[in-house]
Amino acid sequence: MIDAKEAAEISKGYIKELYGDIFSDYRIEEVELDYDDSPTLWLITISYEDSTGGETYQKVFKKRSFKTLKLVASDGEVRAMKNYNPDV
């Protein structure tokens, strides 16, 4: 079974692989081991600075976006990635 640190690194790497260099300043926000699902899943929420609004926009607003990933705890396979809104 992978541990929380490995799950977080896999999650961050998965986002970077899909989106390239358009995001920066990755942070681990939430980590949860969900035994209710079969197989057992890690739920990892990662935040990052979203630079898709352009350089001037980023200097003024510093927008952070969030994604939650589900990984199989036994081997780290990514099963899902969803946008996460912490304000809801």
- Which segment of 2-11, 16-25, 76-85 scores lowest on mean pLDDT? 16-25
Predicted pLDDT of residue 54 = 60
What is the pTM assigned to this prediction? 0.83
Structural domain including 25 reads: 4-83
Query: Is residue 88, in this structure, part of any structural domain at all?
Result: no
Query: Is residue 51, in this structure, part of any structural domain at all?
Result: yes
Distances in Å between the Cα of 78 and the Cα atoms of 54, 57, 63 are 30, 32, 26
The total number of structural domains in the chain stands at 1
Q: What is the mean pLDDT of residues 17-28?
A: 89
Q: Which residue has the tokens 């630079």?
A: 51
